[in-house]
Structure 1
Amino acid sequence: MLVLLLTLVVGLLPWAGAAQAHGTIVGPATRAYQCWSSWGTHHMDPAMQQQDPMCWQAWQANPDTMWNWMSALRDGLGGNYQGATPDGQLCSNGLARNDSLNQPGAWKTTTIGSNFSVHLYDQASHGADFLRVYVSKNGFDPKTQRLGWGNLDLITTTGRYAPAKDITFNVSTSGYTGQHIVFVMWKASHADQTYMWCSDVTFA
C-alpha cells in the first residue's frame, strides 16, 4: 500500500511543476536554459565541471536555478525595473537564489548574426505587454564583469503579444562583433510580473 501511495505521489510531481511553469528565452538560450538543456538529463555527470564550468558553479550554488529555468520572475515592480534591479544583478533578475547567473566567466555562447530572432517559450501562455531587447556595449567583457544597466544598449521594444506558447520576433543590430550579452526583459500581460534574462552570444 505504501509503495502504491509513493508511486501516485511521484507521478503527480511533474504535473505540479508544469502548473507553476512560466517561460524563458530559448533562442538565443538564456544562461539557466542553456545549463538545463545541456545537463538536465545528466546533471550528476562530473564532466560538467570541466566542460561547462559556469553551469557547474550554478549547479553547486543552487540546483534550483537549473531546474526552475522558467520561473525567474518578480511581481509588483510597477515599472520601476532599473530601480528595483541593482547593477550586477540583472542576469538573475534580482533574485538572490539565482545569483550564480550573475557570475562572469566562460559561459557557453550562441552564435548569431547582426540580424537574429528572439524566441520566447511561454508554457503558461501569459502573453506580453512588451519585450525589451538590449545588447551589451562594445568593450564590456562578460568573462570578467557583472552586467549593469550602464553596460547596455537598448535595441528594440516590442508591442503587445496575445497569449501564446511561442513568441518569436526579429532583431536588427549593427556594429557588434565577438562575445556579448543579449539581455531581454519580458513584462507578462496577465499580471504585474517581470522577467529578465541574460543570453550569451557571439556575433559572427
Structure 2
Amino acid sequence: MSRIRRKNQDLIIEVASEQFATHGYAATKMVDIAKAAEIPKPNVFYYFSSKDKLYYAVLETVTQPLLEASLPIEELDDPVEALTQYIRTKLMISRDHPHASRVFASEVMSGAKVLPEGIRTKLFQQSQLILEKFANWAEQGLMDDVPPHHLMFAIWSATQTYADFSWQICSVMDKPELTDSDFDEAAAFLTKMVIQGCGVKSRV
C-alpha cells in the first residue's frame, strides 16, 4: 500500500472514529465524515465503499490492539511482569485510540450486533485464555485465590474508562485532556492496586 493511500485511509478512519463516537452509528452519514475530514465525499467511498465497511475499519483500529494487549499474559511466566505490562498496554490503548474505544464500548453496550463474528470469537478466546492464566497462577500460589472473572472485568473497566469516560475524568481533574504523565501515574497506581490487592508474587 502506498504511503499516500495509507495516509488518506488513516485520516478517514480517525475522523470517522470521532463522528461515530460523538453521534453514533445510525446518525453518522458518510457526507458528515467527508465534511469533517475536509475531503470530497467520493474520496471516502473510494477507500471505503460503504458506511458498514468504514465502521468495521474503525472497530478494527481498537479491537486489534485489544487482542494484542494480552500477549504479556500469554507469553510471560512472571505474573507481576505480565500484569504490569498488560495494564499499561490497556491504558495506552485508551490514550492512543480514545474515539475508537468509545465506538467499541457503544457497540458492546448495544449488544455487539454489528461486531463481526470473527472479532467476537477472537475476543472470547482471549478472555478464556486470560481467565485460565489467572486460575493457574492462583493454583501455583503466585496470587490469591481471587475470582478470575471479576479480576479481569476490574482491569478492563479501570483501564478503558480513561477513554470511554474521558470527559468526566478531565472534568474532575480540571484539565482539557490527560497527559502522558497522567497515564503513567494511572498505570503505576492500577498495577500496584492489582498486584498488592490480589497478592500477586513474582516467580523466584
Tell me, yes or no, whether TM beats 0.5. no
The normalised TM-score by structure 2 is 0.27
- Which structure carries more relative contact order (alpha carbon 8 Å, separation 6+)? 1
The normalised TM-score by structure 1 is 0.27
Greater strand share, structure number: 1
* Structure number with larger C-alpha Rg: 2
